[in-house]
Chains A and B, each alone.
Chain A
């Protein structure tokens, strides 16, 4: 599955990092990093991360 974060609306709440730490993380500068191509085995976690995003910035294809 493909994961995309719209950084024009992301406000770095960090809820995705908590819901799916295998996929989303903060780098040393505090910027959001994520895996763009994720194994389907993690779908439930990634969906939980997308649901938890207060800005609804995460898209899963």
Chain B
């Protein structure tokens, strides 16, 4: 009985944390996708120095742990620039987005490289404008190819999101710790948090599979 009573009091806290974690992930994923497209565009068609800078950025993001990136941006940069307090939430979202953008840009580059040769040339020969070539011909072909890997990267963003709990953001991980302190139960709140993360990442995988089915050319007829 006591167990259920405590669970009844703790669950709203955990669900509140889940909502914060979900918001963090939705914002970070949206920004990461936009960033990834920008990185790919710059590396394909930007000026040389910018393309090189983008390549360096991707290498940096691949080698830097997300924990250190977040500490660098939240503690280090404001100290170096003499800024006051910065928003932990937005710095955290930004760090996840920067990191995600780098990895997603590699996925997109890979998918573009695997497009059948001549698709772009053929579309141009038909007189399509550059944006039409991408919108009507190339993107519909590369999206189903890139989607599973992109979903994997989204999963990685969700799995990296507890890093925000290290800079005072009250997300699902931090809520689980709070409930542990209130209830003196070291295991149950963490297990509940683990389950909620599992469901969140599972939902991403399911959504990706559903979208993949819809995007495949056969599914459209």
B partners with A: no
